[in-house]
Structure 1
Amino acid sequence: MRLKPLIAAAITSASLLALPAAADPGQVWLYNWSGYMDPDTLAAFQDATGTAVVLDTYGDADEAEARLLARGTGYDLAIVASETVGRLADAGAISKFSLPAVPNAAGLDTELMQILLASLPQAEGYALPYLWGTTGLAYDRDAVQERLPGAPLDSWALVFDPENASKLADCGISIVNSVEEVLAAALVYLGLDPQSQSEQDIEAAFSLLSAIAPYVRSFDSYQYDALMDGDVCLAIAWSTAGLAPQMEDENSSYQYVIPREGSNLWGDLFVVPSDAGDPEGAHRLVNHVLQPSEMARATVFNNATNSVPAARQQIRDPGYAIPALTLPPELRKKLFVVKPRTGEEKQSLDRRWRLLQIGL
């Protein structure tokens, strides 16, 4: 889940074109988060297969879910947030993969996939992982310690304690615009089950969020620039954005942490729309991306945990061996996956989330 202002000149943007009326054997249509795949990966696929990738992008998980549910998109392949896959599968909007057509799937990190499937059994057969990440805290160490000496830097209390939030408001607090993930973080901070669907628990979590909302500068899916430019000193962020300052600027005072109470493990997953015009081309593209060399490229390009363990040996920069990216066993024990909700339940959360953001 990374939004970055990058559009590859070598890849045609579908936003400039009409969607195809029928499958073109020389093209595969891909729907993905903006700036979330190295253009060299897609160029290499075209060189290897003679098939061009036509790319359309989105900036919000709800946008992608709604578009795929509506059908008739013309997409052959999409990369979507894990929490949407259950609803897409239940609605018949995506098709099962033919694993023999994706031999590189044999190299996937089975442990992370099992963590996902334990909470999201609907994804089995319908989704294959592209990249993994967590939802944690990114903070400017200097700015935070100046305002909060002795602050709990490894705890959700840094943001969810209203007293702490009030003292950090002047240097900027940003919260990722993902209600299901932020709600889960609030629940685990309160000592409740992060997957709880109890109305009492959800009310307690929203009360907590309402208490800190006045101190929040923005609720935003796109946090990369704000963190890289130092516009905020604390963010609940996806690891792809939260890690960017420390990975891309050796002089940065920013740190990204997975809070000790626990954190959400998210996956951005490949799915094949049920009305895909070229599912065979989609399978070939997935198999290409899941090569260890391409997965290594994806890790460096996105600051993400890649889905193929063998790829880590091909990343020469030791900076990418940090626990927040490799997710060693001691960290994996603290991870949970957002439990899928029905469309009606999600709509209810969205309404409460919007009201919270506007102060109602």
Structure 2
Amino acid sequence: MPSDLTRRPLALAAALATGLLFSPSWAPAAAQERVVNVYNWTDYIDPAVLEKFTAETGIRVRYDTFDSLETLEAKLSAGRSGYDVIAPTNEPTFSRLIAAGALMPLDKAKIPSAAGLDPTLMQRLRSSDPDNRHGVIYLWGTIGLGLNVERIRALAPNAPLDSWDLLFKPEHARAIARCGITIMDSQTDVIPSVLRYLGLNQDSTGSDDLRRVEQTLLGIRPHVRSFASGGALEQLATGETCLALTYSGDVIQASARAVEANRGVAVRYVAPKEGAQLWFDVLAIPRDAPNADNAHAFINFVLKPENIAAITNEVRYPNAVPASKPMIDQAITSDPNVYPREEDFERFFTVSGVPQTADRARNRTWARFKAGR
């Protein structure tokens, strides 16, 4: 999600060497050159898809990356960012940009590939974009737990591995603390999951509900080793931590890296039975995009089944184009942690933006949690 991600391994240097990818600030375009300026999460694309886009359309891709939603929002809020395509997460950034009038309504006639998007997932996105006017789903995932099962079982043999209890019950967190607990440094992503765990509405802004969240978090604070501003991928992959609250794709990538390293670390992802937050990274066009037609062409190209399949194969995050699945590695499509089963979606929830006053209250709660008081 999302939010601050240190996402997937990618040989970006090789792509840079092709001359197709470079920062918009590096050099001005020639007057006759057709370009599209893309601003995406770090390590979140297949460079071959970008090369293919340029080869087929003649439109040169200028590609910049960000590693936090705060960075993206700062660029867009200043205006005249120079970007044509951005990839915000649905909450809070995508919905805030819509409310601020910073995004252009998409011309769906210029994006015929959008007709292939999963209507159920697009319906879920309506909690952030009521009419699906301002963005289309790029990649998506859930927020849950990354586990080193062997090490957890050695320390807490009776702890439930399919429940938020594993983290939020102090007795389990205390037992597991010796092998490391990591939590993403994002109140936006964590607090809704705690609310849901407590049987409350994930969008609650009530002071009593927030107090219960704070009590729950402070109860495990002594056992949390670290907060990961960019997700917990490396900590899990190297065995530095054995339990992490983070993004599904980070855990899946950590598992793959651990296998490659062959150091005896085995990682798996769990979407807890009480519910897991479903998030979407969205392709959108800033209202002042200098090359709006090229932006529409880029989005349309990315959403073609063969192209979005290549991206999923590279980064191991699911996409929202069902026709792409036959072209995705079977090891990915058959993994329910990447492509959840239909019944799993009953446990997933999306969040809506909260008022500014409630967001400030959540930030204060988060600050007290991190400080341990």
Q: Give the TM-score, by structure 1 length.
A: 0.93
Cα deviation per residue 1:105-157 (whole Å; 9 max; x = unaligned)?
Answer: 0110111111221x224462011100010001110011100000021000001
* Higher mean C-alpha displacement, 343-352 vs 219-228: 343-352
From 68, 79, 83, the equivalent of 1:75 is: 83
Distance across 2 between alignment mates of 1:24 and 1:312: 38
> Equivalents in 2 of 1:263, 1:351: separation in Å?
24
* 1:226 and 2:231 are equivalent in the alignment: no
Equivalent residue number for residue 334 of structure 2: 321
Aligned counterparts of 1:24 and 1:122: Cα–Cα separation in 2: 38
- Residue 21 of structure 1, CA deviation: 9.6
Match of 1:159 in 2: 167
Shift of 1:24: 7.3
**Contact 2:249/2:338 (<8 A) preserved:** no
Preserved CA contact (<8 Å) 1:247 1:303: no
Contact 1:87 1:342 in 2 (8 A): no
Task: Pick which of 22-31 and 205-214 moved more.
Answer: 22-31
Contact 1:23 1:278 in 2 (8 A): no
Structure 1 runs not aligned, ≥5 long: none
Write out aligned runs for 1:81-92 (5 A).
81-83=89-91, 84-92=93-101
Matching of residue 10 in structure 1 with residue 19 in structure 2: no
2:306 maps to 293
Counterpart position of 2:323: 310
- Aligned-pair distance for 1:25? 4.3
Contact 1:172 1:233 in 2 (8 A): yes
- Deviation of 1:247 (Å): 4.2
Query: Which deviates further from its counterpart, 131-140 or 194-203?
Result: 194-203
- 1:256-271 → structure 2 map (5 Å cutoff): 256-271=269-284
1:55-102 CA distance string (max 9 Å, x none) = 111111222123212212111110011102111111011111000100
- Correspondence for 1:139: 147
- Label 1:245 to 1:336 Cα distance change in 2 as closer, same or farther (>3 A): same
1:205 equivalent to 2:213? Answer yes
**Match of 1:115?**
124
Match of 2:102 in 1: 93
Contact 1:89 1:123 in 2 (8 A): no
Corresponding residue to 2:295 among 265, 269, 282: 282
| Helix, strand or coil at the partner of 1:219 | strand
**Of 125, 134, 141, which residue of structure 2 is paired with 1:126?**
134
- Post-superposition offset of 1:337: 0.5
Asked if 2 retains the 8 angstrom alpha-carbon contact of 1:25 and 1:278, the reply is no
Query: For the residues of structure 1 that align with 2:288 and 2:15, how far apart are their CA atoms?
Result: 27
Q: Greater CA deviation, 324-333 or 152-161? A: 324-333
SS across alignment from 2:15: coil
Distance 1:24 1:198 in 2: 56
- Three-state SS of the structure 1 residue aligned to 2:87 is strand
Corresponding position of 2:363: 350
- 2:45 is the counterpart of 1:37: yes
Larger deviation, residues 182-191 vs 215-224? 215-224
Cα distance in 2, alignment partners of residues 23 and 242 from structure 1: 44
CA displacement, residues 146-202 of structure 1 (integer Å, 9 cap, x when unaligned): 000021000001111111111222211111222122111111111112222222212
Q: Report the AA paired with residue 341 of structure 1.
A: V
Q: Matched residues in 1 for 2:286 and 2:35: separation?
A: 16
- Is the alpha carbon distance of 1:298 and 1:356 closer, same or farther for their aligned partners in structure 2, counting shifts above 3 Å? same
What number of residue pairs does the alignment pair up?
358
* Structure 2: unaligned runs, 5 residues or longer: none
Question: Superposition RMSD on alpha carbons, in Å?
Answer: 2.1
